[in-house]
Amino acid sequence: MPSTPVTLLGLGAMGRALAAALLADGHPVTVWNRTPGRAADLPGAVVAPALADALAAPGPILACLLDHASVHDTLDPVAADLSGRTLINLTSTTPDEARELAAWAAAHGVAYLDGGIMAVPQMIGAPGASILYSGSAAIFDDHRGLLETFGAAEYFGDDAGLASLYDFALLSGMYLMFAGFAHGAALVGSAGVSATEFAARATPWVRAMAAGFAGHAAFIDSGDYRADTQSLAFNKAALDALVRASRAAGVPLTVLGPVKALLDAQVADGHGGESFARIFEGLRAG
């Protein structure tokens, strides 16, 4: 693949990982960070003393900053100099924040591609890393090889907010999974079992249970929740017992309580004989 000069703004843990992957792939990389001195582990990178120096370098501008506000803090003062440039923003933002940045970019003559990173820094450039993109299809097509330096690259359409919508949907699952793990660890912890021992059991269990997503999705997408097994009433008995066991062990219901509330609401509405997947109806956007 031909090398592409890239300017990278932001040298936090993720920015440095992205820079390292680009350098390893032979791309000339100019880096800038608000606080100087964060490029020591990036031999070969051109360290720009000021933002204007970084932006004077050719090629797409990659931003990997803390959040939406930090992108504006960085780019608003130089917006007038960005006309005609390409901005690929890998900073985590909400869908609406990504759309706002796309509109801001368009207003300043900047082509904009938004990205949601589905990886931790150690995964960048290795199998398993993926980045979700939306916004300018032309940027994605022109720079696909460059983007695949970081991991699998997937394009979701010209709505700049879509990549982060998928990103945040996946992160919701991740956070609730870790919260569920913490609840279980607290439960077995009440009997002196270590979290390490619990993790060894929880990992294959959660992996096996994840195979059930497709079945739940079929109920949700059809809107037909009639089921012969695993009804809400059946799961209510299990969840009520889980709540009693948690209380007995002194584990608060901070994580489990909202799940029970979702289930109870569906049963109270007369859907006890239908699939557990119906809890989705309590979450569906109105």
DSSP for residue 32? E
Q: Segment contacting ligand FVH (CB under 6 A): 33-41, 44-52, 147-155, 158-166?
A: 33-41
* Binding of residue 95 to ligand FVH (CB under 6 A): no
CB of 248 to ligand FVH, least distance (A): 37
63 sits near ligand FVH (criterion: CB under 6 A): no
34 scored as a contact of ligand FVH (CB under 6 A): yes
Question: With respect to ligand FVH, which residue has the nearer C-beta, 13 or 218?
Answer: 13
Closest CA to 184 of 167, 202, 209, 158: 202
Contact status: 89 vs ligand FVH (CB under 6 A): no
Distance (Å, rounded) from C-alpha 136 to C-alpha 102?
Answer: 9
> Contact at 8 Å (CB) between 5 and 59?
yes
**Please, which of residues 108-147 interact with ligand FVH by CB under 6 A?**
117, 120-121
Distance in Å, CB of 183 to ligand FVH, minimum: 23
How many CA atoms does the CB half-sphere of 165 hold within 13 Å? 12
Shortest distance (Å) from residue 111 CB to ligand FVH: 21
Taking CB atoms, the residue at the shortest distance from ligand FVH is: 12
Task: Name the phi and psi angles at 124, rounded to 5.
Answer: -60, 130
Residue found by looking up tokens 């930090």 in the block: 70
Among 4, 15, 39, 88, binds ligand FVH (CB under 6 A): 15
Q: How far apart are CA 8 and CA 16, in angstroms?
A: 9
Query: Residue 122 Cβ, how far from ligand FVH at the closest point, in Å?
Result: 9
For residues 103 and 76, what is the distance between their CA atoms, to the nearest angstrom?
Answer: 13
What sign does the dihedral 161-167-173-179 (CA atoms) show?
negative
Q: Does 190 bind ligand FVH (CB under 6 A)?
A: no
Token pair in block for residue 224: 């037909």
Instruction: Give the CA distances from residue 142 to residues 4, 30, 183, in Å, rounded to whole numbers and listed in that order.
Output: 11, 20, 46
Residue (11 or 262) nearer to ligand FVH, CB:
11
Query: Considering the rule CB under 6 A, would residue 74 count as an interface residue with ligand FVH?
Result: yes
Residues near ligand FVH, by CB under 6 A: 10-15, 33-35, 38, 64-67, 70, 73-74, 91-92, 117, 120-121
